[in-house]
Structure 1
């Protein structure tokens, strides 16, 4: 589920390699821009206050709200957290009348900053689940750091996962479960990209669970 997926060193405000240039209108995530503006106003937050909480500049948040920039996964996670919602809602997913089953092909994927997001869970849940297609080089330099936990499972290709000062390379069948307050990077390690399952939750396990990287 770099966070993607606020407060990341280095600053996640920098657009990942392959992202759109300033002022360039994206051709993906058509519902995200108005949704971001609607949720901010619904929470009674000014542009400046929301940007500060998410670790963004007001100008950058304004570009996200007008569709001139596409949010990366860490930006979506940060904004969902301060607006009290989920990445699924930000991506325009609506609840399927409490149906616990998600049928193959029933939802269109979304794209942001080179990553392709397939919603594989129900919106409105504390645990957010995604199937991610990660092209080589996309978002590879973004360092993510945010409350909660993440779990990922590699389906195809190889994934380079940096946790603190340690770098792990994962292949098909490998998985990782870590405290997302640990600064982390996720990137495809193979030229053909990688595919993985990703789960994120804002819930935190007791400290005894957390490995020290």
Structure 2
């Protein structure tokens, strides 16, 4: 298989190395939901090259090691949905495009029966808007907040509306508890973390803009304070 100069060969036995700087550690490779995602390996390398990014630069922005990203590009590992979101933002595209979903026409109606749930890291996602658009709309089941939750920072805006349960939203140094019927609308460059306040989880509508910026940085790492 062809490799670009300076890129590591995809050795499945080689351990992942932590990326420098504040990036989060690699997600677990044992994610049971990854196997149900389509093979995105053929798209990942081409998108990175078209963006003019080296393997090392793209991996650092996504919070991965170069070895881990190389395995994704060669199909030795399948990405989880949060990882796809990170890569889509970095490459200036959408998750739908990464998955090879190119609709023949834009249907303005999203029927309930057409949306299959996708699970990743305890979160359950249902598409609530049209595919391939800059404005992404989802119905989300949010798990109970834990220390493993990631603080996210990226260009764009986010809006959420609580349908059921309580949501604990951290925005910078402030922590807000939202009840059913409450909403929040904020700049995604504000460090933020979302989790359910109760162990039963919470249901919410979630809308975000996909700003096409190669400088998108998603994760601040494990050193961020835990939501309480």
TM bucket by the smaller chain? 0.7 to 0.9
TM-score scaled by structure 2? 0.70
The question of whether the paired residues in 1 share the 8 Å contact of 2:171 and 2:193 is answered with yes
Q: In the comparison of the two structures, how many residue pairs are matched?
A: 189
Could you tell which deviates more after superposition, 86-95 or 126-135? 86-95
Partner of 1:184: 192
Relative to structure 1, is the Cα distance of residues 190 and 203 closer, same or farther in structure 2, using a 3 angstrom cutoff? same
CA distance in 2, matches of 1:32, 1:172: 37
* Structure-1 residue corresponding to 2:128: 120
Contact 2:92 2:211 in 1 (8 A): no
For each residue in 1:135-161, what CA deviation from the matched residue of structure 2 results, as whole angstroms up to 9, or x when unmatched? 224685310001111111111111100
Instruction: Note the C-alpha offset of 1:164.
Output: 0.5
Give deviations 1:149-177, integer Å, cap 9, x for gaps: 11111111111000001000111111100
In structure 2, the residue matched to 1:71 is 80
Higher-RCO chain (CA-CA 8 Å, sequence separation at least 6): 1
Instruction: Give the TM-score normalised by the residue count of structure 1.
Output: 0.74
Kindly indicate whether the alpha-carbon contact (under 8 Å) linking 1:160 and 1:167 is maintained by their aligned counterparts in 2. yes
Cα distance change on mapping 1:53 and 1:27 into 2, 3 Å: closer
| Separation (CA, whole Å) in 2 of partners of 1:96 and 1:155 | 32
CA-CA distance at 1:126 after TM superposition: 1.4
- 1:38: Cα distance to partner? 5.3
Partner Cα distance (1:96, 1:137) in 2: 39
**2:205 paired with 1:193:** no
Question: Against the structure 1 CA distance between its residues 195 and 168, is the aligned structure 2 distance closer, same or farther, given a 3 Å change threshold?
Answer: same
Contiguous gaps of at least 5 residues in structure 1:
1-8, 16-20, 205-213
CA, structure 1 residues 53+136, in 2 after alignment: closer, same or farther (shift >3 Å)?
closer
What residue is the counterpart of 1:174 in the other structure?
Answer: 182
Alignment of 1:119-158 (within 5 A): 119-137=127-145, 141-158=149-166
Identify if the C-alpha distance between structure 1 residues 94 and 195 changes in structure 2 by more than 3 Å, giving closer, same or farther.
Answer: farther
Match of 2:23 among 3, 11, 29: 11
Counterpart in 2 of 1:26?
32
Q: Kindly report the root-mean-square deviation, in angstroms, between the aligned alpha carbons of the 2 structures.
A: 2.9
The aligned counterpart of 1:85 is 93
